[in-house]
Structure 1
């Protein structure tokens, strides 16, 4: 993993840094930036290196579907780590947790909950799209 991506993630307080020739930084919440990038420019993610603050199973599924090459996460959930390694994505991380918690720290992240029992990245993607569609109607 390129240490400059991790430095950029931390020093400039980004939520996601993606490098594949060009380097792009993102500051959105949850999987929104990764989802948008996957939908709008999946070719940029193929073979890319990513540095992310938090990687749960939903983010890992998007990375697997996009064929990301390597990932660094400050925090990774066990289900996300398993999905990434099962899909031959190189992973480095700060800490591993059993699951990702929600923003209010009162329970599981809603996408971690939705994706927990999914068997494939595509199954997770279906859950992610349903969740994002529901959120956009609020």
Structure 2
């Protein structure tokens, strides 16, 4: 995990996932799109993987649970995200915990955190996030 944490912020790295077989996926985009794509397109790599990320909100937490990740580090994590990960038995460490992830403009709650606030399962959140990504791409 220390190696993954040290990668954050270098060369545009916003997050990184390392699979059980040692394969590494680096996330460069803001938001959840890279994590969504990793969990959706490479479920075999996500299962049992470890992840370090700059920011994890509730939507990202649901994706990590859906993917079967076993350990997570976040520089910043929201309380709802931390609760979701811990409820799923995922080992969690973080730099700072906040009530909610703030949107890019700094004017309110992150749209994906707000979108998934009432989701009852990782699968439900995944569908909501998929629709959000499709609408905004």
Q: State the distance in 2 between where 1:109 and 1:4 align.
A: 28
Matches within 5 A, 1:46-85: 46-85=47-86
Q: Does 1:5 align with 2:4?
A: yes
What's the CA shift for 1:10? 3.5
What's the CA shift for 1:60? 0.5
What's the CA shift for 1:75? 0.4
Q: Secondary structure of 1:96's partner?
A: strand
- 1:35-73 C-alpha deviation (Å, 9 max, x unpaired): 111111111111001000000011001100010010000
| TM-score in terms of structure 1 length | 0.93
What's the CA shift for 1:129? 1.3
Q: State the distance in 1 between where 2:116 and 2:11 align.
A: 30
Structure 1: give runs of 5+ residues left out of the alignment: none
| Alignment match, 2:16 | 17
Q: State the distance in 2 between where 1:134 and 1:33 align.
A: 16
Q: State the distance in 1 between where 2:115 and 2:24 align.
A: 31
Q: State the distance in 2 between where 1:53 and 1:92 align.
A: 12
**More deviation in 113-122 or 87-96?**
113-122
| Alignment match, 2:116 | 115
Task: State the aligned residue count.
Answer: 135
What's the CA shift for 1:22? 1.8
Q: State the distance in 1 between where 2:14 and 2:110 align.
A: 16
| TM-score in terms of structure 2 length | 0.93
Q: State the distance in 2 between where 1:11 and 1:132 align.
A: 26
Structure 2: give runs of 5+ residues left out of the alignment: none
